[in-house]
Structure 1
Amino acid sequence: MKKLFIILIILFSFILSFSQRFLPPVKDSYLTSSFGEYRDTGDKPHFHLGIDFSSFSRIGYPVNAAADGYVYKIWLNHKVYGNTIFLYHPDYDLITVYAHLNSFKGILSEIANSVISEVGNTFAEVKFPEDEIRVSKGEEIAYSGKSGEAEVPHVHFEVRELRKSGNEEIEIVRDALEFVDYIEMRPRKLEALEIRSNNRTFKLLEDQITEIPFATLPKLEVKADEKIGNNTKIIPRKISLRVNDELVYEIEFDAIRADEMYSANTVFGYGSNIFTYWLKLYSSSFITPIKVNRWNEIAFTLKDRNPAELILEDIWGSVKVYKLVLVKEM
């Protein structure tokens, strides 16, 4: 009886946590881009701060509220996000963002049209009083488009968190896949393709050890991605480098501060674009995705030959490990 009671509690907790997840903004859709990817569109390189859902190449496809809440603000004519809705969800203390919209629905459409008649194509932000415009989970709030820097119609979806740091309010953008009720059913292939050091590039294979030369300090960059189905490529969630059995460097795309949006070149190397990701395994500065950077600690302990492991992980639990040997050049 006691075992049955414990099982029922666990099952209830699982059902409760599952039911409290956000709805995807597009019904029956699929993921087309992930959080943290490199973007070289617009004025300068930046992180992709959300996840993208297909609107099936259609403008005007319904966009739905992820959870109960109210409208926090809207953006009109933003150069990157285009027409955008921000919803605040008191039950979660989180904000969801819906971008690249073609148009809004209901009262928001009326307000947007009124503002546009005054400002034209100029960027405008409209903030609303708390609880003034309520929305329900699954409610239709807008229609998909390709406003802003979007090249094809889709819905860009974000989860944001506001934190206090003294008198300053910091906006943290979280990986929305942690919060949304989405199950990836397509086949996935997580892999590192190449690694480069000292202007030389080496192919990586899972079943062999790759020797990588370095001079004073290894400045490694790895080309990696995860292919999903036939037409989607995303970035690995976590990339780790272990040298001589010690964790030396780690990047994880779980959160990025909003004010770090244009710091993508801290993490991504030369040759990165919307389709190709060269990830640096070194840095002279710190931003949120860089979780571990111990190169300065271990620089003087490196030997002539240093066994290493490159580890890729995705958000669904897949792991790939590549064996390396870092060889000091004389």
Structure 2
Amino acid sequence: MRKLISLVLIVVSIISMAMFMPPVGGQLLITSSFGEFRGTGNRGPHFHMGADFSTQMRSGVPILAAADGWLVRVEIDEDDIYGNVVVLQHENGFRTLYAHLSGFSEKIKSIIDSVVAEFGRRRIVVEFPERNIWFKAQEVIGYSGQTGEAAQPHCHFEIRNIDETVCYNPSDMLNIPKPADANFTVRGLMIDGERLNYTENEVYRFRGSWPKIAIDAVASVGRNVIGLRSLRLYFNNDLVYHIDFSEIRLEEFNNVWAVYTENSVADGYRYTAYYKLYPDKSSNVVKLNRFPELGQIPSRTNVTIVCEDVWKNEHEVKFVLERR
């Protein structure tokens, strides 16, 4: 019976992962993940609300519809965070968004050209009638570019609900292959604001009833660093804190300081982001917070941080805390 249940869960998992097809052709290589910290842009520090996929730093690479759907909206704005955008509506109730485009599909190019000719290069949002202009799965909707705040040409891809109030993690709905050179790395640890080098099973000191732990941990793929999907903090094998990036509400776009420390940096060329594993500001990304009921933790406490990457591999970070 347990084997049957496990098999069913595996099948359901595979189906959910394959809900959408890749928005770029060829080998699918993720370069930035959902929920990562972003510190630039005219909207201020914010969460990365989608996933980025490589186009080998080339503009003009075809960007493909992730499923059958009709055109909802086109945004023309080279200076906004997203740059030029296409949004599709799908029969499964989701919408997909494709950003930083350098150009649009031939199917809609003449419409866009006429709008630009009339209104100029200001920000333009064109909304289309429901079920009027259709795209088949893997049909070209536009071309890769670096409009908006993109440092290099790539494909920025988002999955949203129908009223565009929630963004979902694309790694849960796409089959993203794990590169052979992907490695989990702990780049830094902070306890009570003090930066430390992480060594497994090391003893670290803390003050007060419980420590403020923050961790800079990523999956590295070549020159790219990929943020985590979730983090779970355990004290003496008891789960006390859980951050999960399965979805983020659009109203929390700028609520990054609830999850990241204020010395985090992401400017297109540098990425250093410490996840806060303690309560500060409220956020729906924080799924469990048992600190209010903890009281004072033991003077010597075993700590385990379970870090899950975008491929759902779990990596354990272990050390010991002793009160000063």
Relative to the length of structure 1, the TM-score reads 0.87
Alignment match, 1:165: none
Match of 1:99 in 2: 99
For 2:25, give the aligned amino acid.
Answer: K
Please report how far the alpha carbon of residue 14 of structure 1 lies from its aligned counterpart in structure 2 after TM superposition: 7.8
Written as runs of structure 1 = structure 2, the 5 A alignment for 1:85-164 is 85-90=86-91, 92-162=92-162
> 1:326 aligned to 2:324?
no
- Measured against aligned partners, the alpha-carbon deviations of 1:226-247 in whole angstroms (never above 9, x if no partner) come to 112x222101211111113321
Structure 1 counterpart of 2:205: 212
Q: Which residue of 1 aligns with 2:60?
A: 60
C-alpha distance in 2 between matches for 1:236 and 1:257: 18
CA distance in 1, matches of 2:319, 2:24: 42
Which stretch of structure 1 is more off in the superposition, 280-289 or 134-143? 280-289
Q: Distance in 2 between matches of 1:139 and 1:82?
A: 21
Matches within 5 A, 1:24-35: 24-28=22-26, 29-35=28-34
Spell out the pairing of 1:283-322 with structure 2 (5 A cutoff): 283-298=279-294, 300-322=295-317
Give matches, 1:222-233, under 5 Å.
Answer: 222-228=215-221, 230-233=222-225
Q: What SS is found at the alignment partner of 1:117?
A: helix
Amino acid of the residue matched to residue 74 of structure 1?
Answer: V
Larger radius of gyration: 1
Alpha-carbon distance between aligned partners in 1 of 2:18 and 2:12, rounded to the nearest angstrom: 10
SS in 2 for 1:182: coil
Q: Which residue of 1 aligns with 2:190?
A: 196
Alignment-mate amino acid for residue 260 of structure 2? F
Paired positions, count: 310
Distance 1:195 1:63, change over 3 A: same
Partner of 1:23: 21
User: Residue type of the partner of 2:24?
Assistant: V
TM-score normalised by the chain length of structure 2:
0.89
Q: What secondary structure does 1:265 align onto?
A: helix
Distance 1:105 1:153 in 2: 17
Distance 1:192 1:101, change over 3 A: same
Q: Which moved more, 1:271-280 or 1:131-140?
A: 271-280
Picking from 243, 255, 267, the partner of 2:259 is 267
For residues 34-77 of structure 1, give each alpha carbon's deviation from its aligned partner in whole angstroms, at most 9, with x where no partner exists. 11111111131111111111112211111111111101111110
Q: What amino acid maps onto 1:157 in structure 2?
A: F
Match of 2:243 in 1: 251
> How far off is 1:202 after superposition?
2.0
The amino acid of 1:24's aligned partner reads P
Question: Are the aligned partners of 1:210 and 1:323 in contact in 2 as well (CA < 8 Å)?
Answer: no
Measured against aligned partners, the alpha-carbon deviations of 1:82-140 in whole angstroms (never above 9, x if no partner) come to 100001111x2111111000111124212222222233232222111110001101111
SS of the residue aligned with 2:176? coil
Cα distance in 1 between the residues matched to 2:56 and 2:164: 35
**Aligned partners of 1:177, 1:129: CA distance in 2, in Å?**
30
2:214 is the alignment partner of 1:221 = yes
Q: Secondary structure at the match of 2:292?
A: helix
Distance in 2 of aligned mates of 1:210 and 1:180: 40
Q: Which amino acid aligns with 2:208?
A: A
Q: Which moved more, 1:263-272 or 1:46-55?
A: 263-272
- Counterpart position of 1:3: none
How far the C-alpha of 1:324 sits from its partner, in A, is 2.5
**Alpha-carbon distance in 2 for matches of 1:97, 1:199:** 38
Match of 1:74 in 2: 74
Deviations 1:188-228 (A, max 9, x none): 2113232112332222123x233231224421111111112
The answer on 1:41 being equivalent to 2:40 is yes
Match of 1:281 among 266, 277, 287: 277
In structure 2, stretches of 5+ residues that fail to align are none
Distance 1:324 1:257 in 2: 33
Q: Percent identity?
A: 31
Residue of 170, 173, 186 corresponding to 2:167:
173
* Residues 236/79 of structure 1: CA separation in 2 closer, same or farther (3 Å cut): same
Distance in 2 between the 1:294 and 1:18 partners?
A: 30
Once residues 284 and 148 of structure 2 are traced to their aligned partners in structure 1, the CA distance between those partners, rounded to angstroms, is 26
- Whether the aligned pair in 2 keeps the contact of 1:197 and 1:214 (CA below 8 Å) is no
Structure 1: tracts of 5 or more residues without a match: 1-5, 163-168
Q: CA deviation at 1:277?
A: 1.6
